[in-house]
Structure 1
Amino acid sequence: MSTFTTNPVSLHTLLQRCEQGDIKLPDFQRNWVWDEYRIRSLIASLSQAFPVGALMTLKSSGKTFTPRSIQGAPAIADATTESELLLDGQQRMTSLYQALIRQAPIEKINVFYYFNIEKSLDDSVDREDAIEPFPSDRVLRTNFGKDVVLDLSTPEKEYENLRFPLNKIFDHESWQEGFWDYWEDNKPKRQVLKSFREKIVDSFRRYQVPVISLDKSTTNEAVCLVFEKVNTGGKALDAFELITAMFAGKGFKLREDWAQRAAALKKFRALEKIAPTDFLQGIALLYSKAQRDAAAGSEDRRPPVSATRNALLALPVEAYQAHADRLQLGFERAAKFLHTQRIYRSFDLPYQSQIVPLAAILASLGDRWEHEQPKQHVRTWYWCGVFGELYGSAAESRFAKDLVEVLAWIEGGLEPSTLKDTSVRASRIRELRSRGSAAYKGVNALLMKSGATDFRSGQDYDHAVFFDESVDIHHIFPRDWCEQQLLPANLFDSIVNKTPLSAKTNRTLGGVAPSKYLHRLETAKPPVDPGNLDAYLRSHAIEPDRLRADDFHGFFAARLDGLLDLIDNATKRPALRDVPPPADAAAAIHPEATPPLDPEDEAEAGAENAALADDAALLSEVR
């Protein structure tokens, strides 16, 4: 439960509090990023007494979040310990502080702002055009700095040219005295300044800003939610940043700790895209499960296992410290497990999110992971998650169920929900065309795992061959040939017509009929023995006779059945083998009437193939 108040506060008071350190930023706030145009637009709005939005602050003792001063504030601001934290309004308040209070050039853009007094009094001139930036020496030059256009480097030159410095807006009297002395005998000029003060200066001095102030009872979860709701124009707040700020208040440097762990984990190519929030979710799983296990004999309701955002925000620093090393080992074991499943790169991961419960499960198993029974259970669970396509959304709730249920299953309990929820249909496998699909990537990995060997070399796609030979997924019936035969793209671009091959082998195949490229392989130097070649094809679930006869539809039906056998074996679940469309009907579809090729298919493949040369150089680091 939290309470808040809403009060108007003068702009000058707010800016003074920023300078004194009475208003600071919570450490999770990102840096000030506004550009010259947005600052000038904000100042123009204030000068016309237009509303520029409310601020939101949090009353905090500094024990929950580590505060930092507004950018550009003097060092004395850092010494203030009792501050209100600015949740919404950082960009506006920092911009105004730098332009109106700070007696130095505005950082980043290195300018001073001036009001052109005459233009600001002319209603036909856009107010933004009356606000002029000058370089840090206050001299405007042209011709590569050779010619002076306007010099405002002294107060007297400001008076002479009727330019008012914005950082004197709240100290107008002292500047006005100098102006009157300078134009002592010129009443029209003095009247111009009087009009400027009434129209422009007084707008700033009277300006009130609505401030919503949250009290100290506001929870961390509410702070995070409120921050995201009111910062809709910026990037969503990452839970890691908020937790970093909370842990800093306890004296623990989470960002530095994570940087060291990330460097160790990202030596594994499959873990390249591990995010700090992934690691925190793993910590939340281990911590909440430990809490639940500790309450096993209690009459009270056992706490849930959770990896939701709220669970992350409720993590005590002690939980992180207690579980981080074990979880890091779990992630390393997860990478090694993925290698055994022929998943070597993060690009080839069916689901990035599934690594989180995988790492938590392996961390929880400890040395038991070396036994075959837990490995078999984890393999089955993993492939059910992939081919059941169960990690595409609302994954956090499945994380928790999987951790509890898979560990219980290994101990002799019931099958996990992920296994029960898995249902694979032949029609779904047939329609897979996007390289971004989890099941698409899963089929590719299963083929390599099941012993698929290269058509040309007969090599197994182990870790070394995969990178050294630039293995990727390619068409079996080449696209050029398929298009010449007027075959529909929704068939020839299906995963059923694709398989992992080395880059050199794919170039050898070219765009000709399979019968021709098989003959090319058998007559190459060195030649591939026809009997061996048939064995290589069968290792890819390909019927050699169908390929040699250029029988696309017969090949397609038989290969689909072979891929389903692989999936059945991996998931321990029989696929629903619905009847495929008649070959004649499929052949009658003109390719122009079929869906266009998924752009991810070729664009991503091109990007990855370009990177494979670098992959080979990194191989020695992973071995």
Structure 2
Amino acid sequence: MKDAQKPDHVSLNTLIGRLREGRFVIPDFQREFEWKPWDIRELMRSIFLDYYIGSLLLWKGKTENFKALSCEAIYGFDGNGRNEYIVLDGQQRLTALYYAFLAPDVPLPSRSTRAIYFVRVDKFMKEEYDEAFDYDWLSKRVAKILKDRETQFAEHIFPLSIVGAGGWELPNWVQQYEQYWRKAAESASGEEAIQEAQRHADNAKEFGEHLRGITDQYQVSYIELDQELELDKVCDIFTQINSRGVRLDVFDLINALLTPKGVQLKHMWRDAQARLEFVDTEKMNVYILQVMSILRQAYCSPKYLYFLMPGQEKQVRDPDGTRRKEILVSDIKEFTTAWNEAVIALERAIKMLRHPQEFGAVSSTYLPYVSILPVFAAIQAYVKTRPAGLQLDAQRKIRHWYWASVFTNRYSGSVESTSARDYLDVKAWLEDDAGEPALIQEFKTRFRTMELRREIKRGTSVYNGVYNLLIIQGARDWITGNIPQHDDLDDHHIVPSSWGSKHLKGNIVHTILNRTPLTGDTNRKVIADKLPNAYLPELIKQNGEKAVHAIMESHFISPAALAILLRDPFTPDDFEAFITERQRTIQDAIENLLVKERLDLPPNLRELDANVEAIELKLRDNVAVALNGTTEALPPHILQKIEERIQRAAKKNAALDIERYQTLQGKLEYCDLRELQEIITGKTSWPNFQARFANKETLFGKFDQLAELRNGIRHSRTVDEVTRKEGEAAIIWFKQVLEK
């Protein structure tokens, strides 16, 4: 009998070489490359930690089979390949390997930019594996780093494309990296700096040895089907492989390990289940373990859950490089206590998320992320251990992090590593305002680019996030004027879906921009399938335009959007105009309530805060014009502070447009109110402003009043009547002066 199957294995180096030569091709019936950037990162992590990544199924090809199956090169391969193997199982893994190690000049699917993969060597050597493997989008800064070995060495960045380059690239890089830190140790002054440089040099050598071990000895298993095997049999094998799959449940594994120790984890889960049933997920039992793990060791991937076992030793590497062992959970009693604390933390977190004035997820259907629960619960549990006086500011920061996560789709990918990173980042931010996570700046720069019109599926993060904001906003029922009970909410089409199916292309009628919460009775019995221009005029006639405007604005429907809805006839162009206007209104609300954090303010102070900000913006514009755009005209100590703030922001946000912040207008964005006052009233610059502001002493007084109001609002202090009235007077004064 002919040997139709040949089990074998190949080293990582050899596999990368075959990928570089284009030996693997993908048959047409395979799905496209679908992995997300974080999936590729996790594969790299598995390889570097010497984990098994599964077996490949390859068919030794020949010309007629390549043609019969319409085979194509792996995604990103450019050139004439030495076609040898048809990939039947393992396409996603092989393509991920090609993309990370060979770094083709193509963006990832559904992305506009290339992703560059690298290892943070300092994190890797400290065994902080969830943070050691990362990727970044190709920007001017990243492109510069890729060309600059000195920067790579200084910042401990190892581009994975070095492995794929072949030849002497890898040994040269490792040798130069070690030499860089040996020289740094020789030139360093101070015992601490010398020791640190020597430790980096030793780590460089050790990392190089690990690299050689991984590239030469890491084995990827595969099964090679004989090229003479009939096509129908090969297709049958492929079908059988892709129709099976066994879910590996880490909870069941931990339960099995705990049973001999006398812990019935499944029974403990049954007792807790009813308290957490609001959230519809099969993973809640694992989430409890993850909360325990995050609180004990910050990490929560399956590997780390194992260290929750009572008495289990965990090897820890300290910052100085020494290794020690520690036990996270000493005995069964401590495990049970930690479990109960995690259940309580999740229960409280769920209550907070579903609260209509807090996070607005009044139904599990509208929870933006189920997967964010473990880290959200863990952060909330940590905050409860902090002094009472610090908890107000802590909750403000948590809200900002949460909404930033929702509207950047942060928890749609590699959840465990993201949870670990966020827990550590938010904790650091709670301890120090300067530790603001990069996510916050990313949210500020990205929310305006969100295409809300594409959010047509209930359950996605952004769709549900907008719906939650409508609940928090107190969206009132259009007919009764009441805020609907949360068990009587309909996700209503403003322009009926029946009209949309006849007049609009695609599924655009289902966009969140055309949805809003109303009572079931209003939705089904009053509005039904009518266009707004059929029922809103009667509503306005009976209740008055002012009352209807107020109700509509609680749904982020501006007077301009309402006017569009009233058009008769109502056309597809009118629908487009309506959703465009509503997108603008919702994005303004996101900026006002979330980015600028006015959600935390009482409604009567939100408008005042916005007015103070408007004055600051006008003052910046006035300074930029008066100083003729010359940055040298700024006082040196203020310019230095601004430059430091811009540099900190650039480190946190790779997408920051540094060129913009070389201009005076850009620099003034990082200038606070008191610094604007100092610029305007300074000896050398006052002549540029005297004609407008006339009296310097009066200007000082108005700045004091404005600053007192702003500080009271933004630092959650009570704004008394005198402060408010004086602040309002200062706002009016500045408006009049700046509009001259």
TM-score by length of 1: 0.48
Higher relative contact order (CA 8 A, sep 6+): 1
Is the radius of gyration larger for structure 1 or structure 2? Answer: 1
